[in-house]
Structures are given as C-alpha cells and as structure tokens.
Amino acid sequence: MDYTWDFEVVVRNFPVLLRGVVVTIELWVLAFPLGLALGFAVSLGRISGKSWLNAPAIAFVEIFRNTPVLVQLIWFYYAFPIILGQQLAPFSAALLGLTLNTAAYCAEIFRGGIQSIVRGQWEGARALGMTYAMTLRRVILPQVGKHMLPAFTNRGIELAKVTSLASILTVHELMYQGRLLSSTYYRPLEILTVVALVYFVLIYPGSYFSARLERKLRARD
C-alpha cells in the first residue's frame, strides 16, 4: 500500500469539527433526559391496567423499536410540513426523532424494571395507605434504579452514536462537519478516523463512570 496518510488538513480544520462536537453534545444533552422522562411516562401507560393508556403506549413503543432511526428522522423532517403545515428546522426534527426513539427504548427498560419487583412490595406500601405515585417513588423505583443503570447506560451510548444520523438532515453536528471536510479536501480517511476518535473520547468516559457507579452500587448490597 502506498497510501500516504496526511493529517495536516484535519489539524488545520479541527475548529470546524469542534463546532460539530458542540451540536452533537446539544443533541445528546436534550434528547437523553427528554427521552428518559417521556419513556417513564410511556412505561406507566404500558403497565397500566387501563386499555386507553395501555394500547397507545404499546403502539408507540413498537413503532419506534421496529423502524430504523434513520427513516424516523427523515420522516419527521418531511412529514411535519405536510401534517402541520409548518417546516421543522433540521435540528428540531432530529431532536424530535431522537427523543421519541430514546423514549421508546427507555419505556421498555422502565417497564421491565418496575415489573421485576414482586407484588408484595406494592401491597406492603398500599396497605399503609400510600398512593400509587408514592409507592412508585418511595418503594419501587429505589429498588430497581441500580438494576436499570446498565440498560440506561447502553441507551445513552447508543444515542450518542445515533446523533450522527442527524447529518442526513443537514444538522451541523460532528458527522456532518466531518463529511463536509471530506468532500472539501478529499481526505475522507484521515477525517473520519479523527471523527471516530472524537466520538470515542466523548462517549468512553460515560461508560467508564457508569461501570464504576454500578460496581459501587453492587458493593452496597
């Protein structure tokens, strides 16, 4: 192989990538908590005995789990103006798609966690006169939190990577900036290598600290 690697162009244009990093972080920082919160709400519908809550929750989860994220993002971008008569900014469309997708997965994690707690715990709390909400908050969730942590970490990591799909909607995040540089300087290999490294540096600390937290929680038992 006589390919000569040349990273000079990446070094020179690193600020361009950094601007993309800021947008990638923005997407993640908004979509993850929003997805968690919405996912929690959906999981409550999912475990509810009332079919008018249950049915839409199941439909929501299944639609978002069983279609590609890429399709979802593009769909939101193009379908919104048709349905609501209002164009959605690329960033908003991407954020919406990523949030709903994250919510669908988180709903399943919450549901699995909540349902793993034996009925007796609900009864013990309810027999004291505690409401459904009190029981959930004080008795059920504290017991499942640490079991759900690995699954939520996975979701967070997955989301961080999936934000790169927003580049398709011309959101100027890291992947988009990388592709922009690639097509300008014809050095896709060097540029994508650095883009991959930057993703790694962004994501790895999250999984590292989550693993540590997990060990700490487990040691407490």
Instruction: Mark the segment that binds another protein (CB under 8 A) among 10-18, 21-29, 115-123, 152-160.
Output: 115-123
For another protein (CB under 8 A), the number of binding residues is 17
To which H or E segment does residue 9 belong?
helix 8-12
Under rule CB under 8 A, residue 125 binds another protein: yes
- CB-nearer residue toward another protein: 121 or 170: 121
Identify residue 12 by its one-letter amino acid code: R
Question: Could you say whether residue 49 binds another protein (CB under 8 A)?
Answer: no
Contact 157, 32 (CB under 8 A): no
On the 0-12 / 13-18 / 19+ scale of CB atoms within 10 A, 59 is: exposed
User: Cβ closer to another protein: 139 or 168?
Assistant: 139
Q: Which is nearer to another protein, 117 or 203 (CB)?
A: 117
Alpha helices (H) along 69-118: 69-84, 90-115
**String of DSSP letters for 165-204:** GGGGGT--SHHHHHHHHHHHHS-HHHHHHHHHHHHHHHHH
Output the smallest distance, CB 142 to another protein, in A.
5
What phi, psi does 146 have (nearest 5°)?
-75, -25
CB–CB of 120/166 below 8 Å? no
Identity of the residue, 53 or 130, whose beta carbon is nearer to another protein in the bound complex: 130
Q: Which of 47, 54, 126, 151 binds another protein (CB under 8 A)?
A: 126
Whichever of 143 and 207 has its CB closer to another protein, that residue is: 143
Helix (H, G, I), strand (E, B) or coil at 15: helix
Q: Tell me, residue by residue from 129 to 168, as one string, x for binding to another protein by CB under 8 A and - for no binding.
A: xxxx-x---xx--xx-------------------------
Question: Binding to another protein by residue 216, rule CB under 8 A?
Answer: no
**Interface with another protein includes 47 (CB under 8 A)?**
no
Amino acid making up residue 193: T
Contact pick of 128, 197, 211, 213 for another protein (by CB under 8 A):
128
Binding site for another protein (CB under 8 A): 120-121, 123-132, 134, 138-139, 142-143
